[in-house]
Amino acid sequence: MKRILSYSVAAASAAALLAGPAAAPATAADFSGKRIEWLIPYGTGGGSNAWARFYAPWLTKALPGQPVIAINNMPGASSTKGTNYFARRGTKDGLSILGTSGSTQFPYLLGDRRVQYDYKDWTPLLATPVGGVVYIHKSLGVKNADEAKNLRKFQLKFGAQGPTSLDLVPLLAFDILGLNVKPVFGMKSRGDGRLAFERGELRLDYQTTPAFLKRVTPLVEKGEAIPLFTFGMLDDKGSLVRDPTFPDMPHLGEVYEKMHGKKPQGPAWKAWMTFFAAGYPAQKLIVVKKGTPKEMVDAWREGVRKMVELPGFKEAAAKALGDYPQAVGKKAEVLYKVATTVDPASRKWVVDWLKSRFNATP
């Protein structure tokens, strides 16, 4: 696994904290007979929904009193619609939680005008690293990443939620590689993009690991979808390495080197690494509002700690979500900071790129 670039001490520290759950204090709080509302600001066909529905029964087992956990999907506006709703209406009693993803973090980081929420108002309970896989349709005639140069002769449509959503990462990656990609904005979730791919309307797509494993693997097995590359993952020094769930698949840096004969570098690459770090090592987060009673926060943190140690959890999570460690306790707090902070210079570069490339202003 080749290291491409070490981008920051903060990300390196966060990556080093990914190994193993931290202990949490015992608590007397009890959820017996309670119903927990879990808001997911995405549709039902994408990776965030798959992630939440995997977690819900495990959380029920681990939380004291085994409460009912009801998932409420509220998609729209690159996840800002549902997240704004949680900021306004979510309760502070420990019975209302939010599941965020990179498409929630990025509008916040870029100062998107639709954002009416602030991550400083929330307390993290769990952070999940997630990968991303880019794949193409078999009709393009490209069999693997070694033939990626041949994609330059095509104009490729790509279904995206919006330029300031998590889709910023693949959109910038396509530009860095030199591909001619025309985005089709307005998708309510990554699931919409996948469905358009299945209908033959798009020949380029990407999915986060949970959706890829569940929804795209059958297309790969039929020979209809060709996995091209992953975005990679961070090692304990903050360097880009192969995604542990897909160790035989090259990451973006390796594909760039195959196509251009040199390692990626420069402001575009630095900006990509910065937003990749914000969007993937802690892509999916479970939060409660600040002001939630300490005993309830402690109960949640002890519950998620117990959950990741339940018999069979690790194996089931690897199968459903990918081979990534789940971060709880102090580790979740560190990754939460990484996911909600970006280098000002990279932010400015991306804002300028969004304006010149898509005439988009956050």
User: Is residue 258 located within the same domain as residue 144?
Assistant: yes
User: Rounded to whole angstroms, how far apart are CA atoms 59 and 64?
Assistant: 10
Place of tokens 């590689």: 177
- Which of 262, 278, 294 delimits the end of a domain? 278
Inter-residue contact 202 to 132 (CB < 8 Å): no
User: Is residue 119 located within the same domain as residue 136?
Assistant: no
What 3-state class would DSSP assign to 181?
Answer: strand
Residue 358 domain-assigned (yes or no): no
Inter-residue contact 100 to 125 (CB < 8 Å): no
Other residues' Cβ atoms within 10 Å of the Cβ of residue 299: 23
Taking Cα atoms as reference points, which of 38, 78, 52 lies closest to residue 189?
78
Q: CA 23, 235, 62 angle in degrees (round to 5)?
A: 30
Inter-residue contact 162 to 170 (CB < 8 Å): no
User: Is residue 142 located within the same domain as residue 262?
Assistant: yes
Provide mean pLDDT across the span 225-243: 91
- Looking up residue 86, the CATH number of its domain turns out to be 3.40.190.150
- Which of 237, 257, 278 delimits the end of a domain? 278
Inter-residue contact 331 to 21 (CB < 8 Å): yes
User: Is residue 80 located within the same domain as residue 141?
Assistant: no
Q: How many CA atoms lie within 13 A of 165 on its CB side?
A: 24
Other residues' Cβ atoms within 10 Å of the Cβ of residue 312: 8
Domain of residue 56 covers 9-130+279-344
Number of domains in the chain: 2
Inter-residue contact 168 to 362 (CB < 8 Å): no
Question: Which pLDDT band holds residue 338 (cuts at 50, 70, 90)?
Answer: confident
Question: Which pLDDT band holds residue 277 (cuts at 50, 70, 90)?
Answer: confident
The pLDDT mean for the chain works out to 90
User: Rounded to whole angstroms, how far apart are CA atoms 209 and 350?
Assistant: 25
Provide mean pLDDT across the span 47-71: 95
User: Is residue 39 located within the same domain as residue 117?
Assistant: yes
Which stretches within 35-181 are classed as H helix? 47-62, 80-89, 102-109, 168-177
Sheet holding 327-328, edge to edge: 68-73, 35-40, 96-100, 284-289, 122-128, 327-328
Residue 355 domain-assigned (yes or no): no
* Residue-wise pLDDT tens digits, 89-131: 999 999 999 999 988 999 999 988 999 999 999 999 999 889 9
What is the value of pTM for the model shown? 0.78
> Tokens standing for 307?
């959950």
Percent of the chain past pLDDT 70, that is, above it, reads 92
- Looking up residue 148, the CATH number of its domain turns out to be 3.40.190.10
User: Is residue 90 located within the same domain as residue 147?
Assistant: no
Provide mean pLDDT across the span 140-145: 96
User: Is residue 139 located within the same domain as residue 267?
Assistant: yes
Residue 357 domain-assigned (yes or no): no
Provide mean pLDDT across the span 299-323: 94
Other residues' Cβ atoms within 10 Å of the Cβ of residue 295: 14
Residue 329 domain-assigned (yes or no): yes
| Predicted local confidence at residue 28, as pLDDT | 65
Q: Which residues pair with 155 in a beta bridge?
A: 180
What are the Cα distances from residue 69, in Å, to 49, 220, 263, 299, 301?
A: 14, 33, 46, 15, 16
Residue 3 domain-assigned (yes or no): no
Residue 354 domain-assigned (yes or no): no
User: Is residue 205 located within the same domain as residue 191?
Assistant: yes
User: Is residue 291 located within the same domain as residue 268?
Assistant: no
User: Is residue 136 located within the same domain as residue 272?
Assistant: yes
Place of tokens 């690897």: 318
Residue 220 has pLDDT above 90, yes or no: yes
User: Is residue 287 located within the same domain as residue 273?
Assistant: no
- Which of 259, 278, 297 delimits the end of a domain? 278
User: Is residue 286 located within the same domain as residue 207?
Assistant: no
| Predicted local confidence at residue 312, as pLDDT | 96
Residue 349 domain-assigned (yes or no): no
